[in-house]
Structure 1
Amino acid sequence: MSAQLIDGKKVATELKEQIHQDVENWVAAGNRRPFLKVLQVGTDPASTTYIGAKTRSCKQVGIETDTTHLPDTVSARELKSVIQSFNDDDSIDGILVQLPLPSHLSSHDVIESIDYKKDVDGFHPMNVGRLAVNEPTFKSCTPAGIFELFKYYSIQTKGKHAVVVGASNIVGTPMGIMLSREHNIGKATTTICHKFTKDITIHTISADILVVAAGQPSLIKAEMVKEGAVVIDVGINRVADETTEKGYKLVGDCDFESIRKKASWITPVPGGVGPMTVAMLMKNTLLAAKKSIYPEE
């Protein structure tokens, strides 16, 4: 068996084309163009790269965007004051605070300070809570993007055993919730593994659908994967490679070459889940502009 590739880049391109059309229809109907405010604290190179990808996507789909830069010495009070000004600005539809933050700042507190109606990342406790009880909400972009891939490739999850490796609030936990509770395409029996899980292979080898988001290169080997499993690799890791111009290459959390010989479907890294995350951010920003999730009372 040789796994079929799940082409996230292709699906994201098609999705963004549809979002672009939806944006233009929205503007043509007399509405102002959606606006995404991005906030970066410090000058982390990886964060700058990610923001660049997001702002380029905004331009592609017709969403206006602007990035505010704050020094990495900013205090929690000062940062929350800036965020509150964004909350109060009716011209801003979505707010994105680029993570990670400097160590002296609490990501949880900062995320909670964002108006949940503008939380297009889907990280606010209100949005996560609504996700858990199947209420309309902004869904965390990476899990939402993975579900778009499931739908595009007609990969069924209902009644399957899904295993998520990684329990972060950004990917693993919302992914587990959606796999078990999503109305139309979820309904899987779901196991979430984390760094305290003993003998992780016992769980991964039984997975019909394996989602790996642990941030550890080559964590999952072929012998840990069930024949015919669907493997979704969320990890993006830099590993040294002197044969490349940059001196490194990007790899996932799975040993791609060996696992693709056993899996039925697999996402590559790069070009798998990553592009879908950005596309879903665009979709959430448009939804925020339309106020279709949290309409005005």
Structure 2
Amino acid sequence: MAATRPLSALAAQLLQPRAQMRAVRNEAVVISGRKLAQQIKQEARQEVEEWVASGNKRPHLSVMRVGENPASHSYIRNKIRAAVGINSDASVTISHQYTPKEQLKKHTILTDVVISAAGIPNLITADMIKEGAAVTDLVGDVDFEEVRQKGGYITPAPGGVVAMLMKNTITAAKKVLRLEEQEALKPKELGVASN
């Protein structure tokens, strides 16, 4: 049977490089996420400004929050603060048909945009809407005559919302295609062969 080294000798040998490192340096190397984040945000800010200066629309970030977790509130606030020139005037709260009306009102009275699709006639009334809010009624939930006196914008249901969704989808697809075509042309313009 082959002779084996005692475990303590093997462990000492494996740990030797770390022990030698500690002798040279007594503390851990600090990797600064904040420093790196600042650099990335500065680069993103510059890209956004170049994008807008080229005649493009300023990018927009919308945030959807589900539930009332305080950590989520904090996370959303941090996103808004870090927007680097990107428009960000929104937290989205989702309620459903079983949300008590008083709880629902706590949300809708504060919002600039209300989109309703619960399927409950007259669920949204004027006392639940912020003055000047935009109200989109997809299926007849909004007391139209009452809310139109208070809201800044309102869509009657049924209306053109679904039609506009289809139109906006094809418009977005065309924009993506144009961007892809522009990217494909860049190497040719520079006289570079592409695969």
Higher relative contact order (CA 8 A, sep 6+): 1
Larger fraction in helix: 2
Q: Fold-level match, TM-score > 0.5?
A: no
When Rg is computed on C-alpha atoms for both structures, the one with the higher figure is 2
State the TM-score, normalized to the length of structure 1: 0.29
TM superposition score normalised by structure 2: 0.41
**Which structure's residues are more often strand, by fraction?**
1
